[in-house]
Amino acid sequence: MADLFLTHDKAKELLKHIASQGIEVFGPVKKDGSHLIEKIKDQSEIDFSYFITANSIKEALFPRYEKILSYKISQEGIEVEDVSIDKSVVIFGGHPCDAASIPLMEKIFGWDYKDKFFLERREKAVILTLACEEADKDCFCTSLGYSPRGEIGSDILLERVSDQGWKLKLLSEKGKEFAKKYETYFQSTLEVDKKYPKLSDKDIPVQFDAKIVKSWIDTHFEDPLWEKIASNCWSCAACTYVCPTCHCFDITDDATMWSGMRTKNWDACTLPYFTLHASQHNPREQHFQRYRQRINHKYSIYVNLFNAISCTGCGRCSRACGAKVNILEAVKMIASAAGGK
């Protein structure tokens, strides 16, 4: 197959075109000075001038609020109606650390009982990922075995060749079909600027050994280091909302007298009410207990359950934290307490 290139202008046209066809499109939008991955509408301001979006792509597959069933109540009784996942989705503009989170999320949503809301959406999704050209001090994907040019979880990887556009790498059948279906938007040549690629694995040094981190966590559930790590935490849960792998949710009813729906909503292990019993007993009452759960879940529990760390090193939680709690610093503190690097 000949080389395929996509320019910024054509990409904007393409995304708006797809959105106009009744397919859900999530792409980068500039809002109040920061870039977010959001649902694209015809009039959306798509913008590609970002290093990393503030949120991850997870919302496209795991919405923050979604109906899982609806019901009608009448004198005759209750009628419950299922929800079907009809729309397919195109996700454009995440980085390899976003795409890598999707196979990780698949594990929990497919663990024994199959959550069709995530899994069916995932099945129908086409994921177009931008290889990274920049990294900051909070990036650490390479420490977890990922790469700024990584292909895991993506259908198409777009590698920048100039300030105008990208070269496409088709990684899956879905990616190939996508390229064929929208071939008029792609071109076979584009002037290549020698300054790209600007970033490779070695520009993001490996900073800790995840195996050492896990073995320390497994033997130090009770350790004063947890309090030190979490001492600034406000329990606001911003870290979990921007995280590509945080998947905790609540189930609530939203109803009027005669009709209503049951919904699945983002929730967070860092919030104090998360584990509060009706009796007011709370197994994770303290900030540090909740932050410990977050780190423990990603670096040890997930490994025990699925043999994979539930973190891709995107650094979004550190950037979003108003209290300057930094997951990379936290994990490095653990690694150094364990005597590793």
Partner 1 sequence: MSDNVYMPYLMKISDIRDETPDTRTYRLEFTRPEDAEKFDFKAGQFGLYSAFGGGESTFCVASPPTRKGYIECTFRVMGRVTTQLRDMNIGDIVGFRGPYGNSFPIEEKFYGKNITFIAGGIGLAPVRCVIWNILDLRDKFKDVNIVYGARTFQDLVYKDEIKEWEDRKDVNLVKTLDPGGDKAEYGCSGWNGKMGFVPAVLKESGIKGDNGVAVVCGPPIMIKLTLPVLKELGFAEENTFTTLENKMKCGIGKCGRCNVGSFYVCKHGPVLSAAELAQLPDEY
Residue (169 or 262) nearer to partner 1, CB: 262
Q: How far apart are CA 109 and CA 16, in angstroms?
A: 30
| Tokens, residue 66 | 């979604």
Query: Contact with partner 1 (CB under 8 A): which of 34, 200, 251, 341?
Result: 251
Figure out which of the listed residues 297, 298, 316, 332 binds partner 1, where binding follows CB under 8 A.
Answer: 297
- Residues 67, 209: Cα–Cα separation, whole Å: 41
Q: How far is the CB of 28 from partner 1 (least distance, A)?
A: 28
Instruction: Name the H helices within the chain.
Output: 8-20, 96-99, 101-109, 116-124, 173-181, 210-219, 224-230, 238-242, 287-296, 302-306, 316-320, 327-337
- Rounded Cα distance between 29 and 27, Å, is 6
CA distance 220 to 224: 9
Structure tokens at 199: 């970033």
Q: Residue 336 corresponds to which tokens in the numbers above? A: 């150094």
For residues 309-338, which are near partner 1 according to CB under 8 A?
Answer: none
Binding mask 63-82 for partner 1 (x = CB under 8 A): -----xx-x-x---xx-x-x
284 touching partner 1, by CB under 8 A: yes
| Residues 113, 110: Cα–Cα separation, whole Å | 6
80 to 99: interface string for partner 1, x by CB under 8 A: x-xx----------------
Give the number of other Cβ atoms within 10 Å of residue 205's Cβ: 9
Stretch that binds partner 1, among 26-34, 88-96, 196-204, 279-287 (CB under 8 A): 279-287
3-state secondary structure 112-159: CCCCHHHHHHHHHCEEEEECCCCCCCCCCHHHHCCCCCCCCCCCEEEE
Sheet containing strand 249-255, edge to edge, reads 77-82, 65-74, 259-266, 249-255
Euclidean distance between CA atoms 94 and 106, whole angstroms: 17
| Gyration radius from the chain CA atoms | 21
CB of 86 to partner 1, least distance (A): 14
Q: Which is nearer to partner 1, 271 or 337 (CB)?
A: 271
* Segment interacting with partner 1, rule: CB under 8 A, options 50-58, 87-95, 196-204, 297-305: 297-305
Cβ closest to partner 1, residue 277 vs residue 324: 277
Binding mask 211-240 for partner 1 (x = CB under 8 A): ----------xx------------------
Tell me the closest approach of the beta carbon of residue 301 to partner 1, in angstroms.
5
Stretch that binds partner 1, among 40-48, 276-284, 322-330, 332-340 (CB under 8 A): 276-284
The maximal CA–CA distance of the chain, rounded, in angstroms, is 72
Regarding 114 and contact with partner 1 (CB under 8 A), the answer is yes
Is residue 62 within the footprint of partner 1 (CB under 8 A)? no
247 binds partner 1 (CB under 8 A): yes
Question: What is the β-pairing status of strands 156-162 and 5-7?
Answer: unpaired
Residue 109 in the binding site for partner 1 (CB under 8 A) = yes
Q: Which of 289, 319, 329, 337 binds partner 1 (CB under 8 A)?
A: 289
Q: Which listed residue (86, 113, 202, 307) binds partner 1 by CB under 8 A?
A: 113
**Residue linked to tokens 């086409």:** 126
Beta bridge partners of 165: 7, 162
Among 205, 304, 322, 324, binds partner 1 (CB under 8 A): 304
Work out how close the CB of 277 gets to partner 1 at its nearest, in angstroms, rounded to a whole number.
6
Shortest Cβ distance from residue 59 to partner 1 (Å)?
17
The contact set with partner 1 (CB under 8 A) reads 68-69, 71, 73, 77-78, 80, 82-83, 108-109, 111-116, 221-222, 247-253, 255, 257, 260, 262, 264, 267, 269, 274-279, 281, 283-284, 289, 296-297, 300-301, 304-305
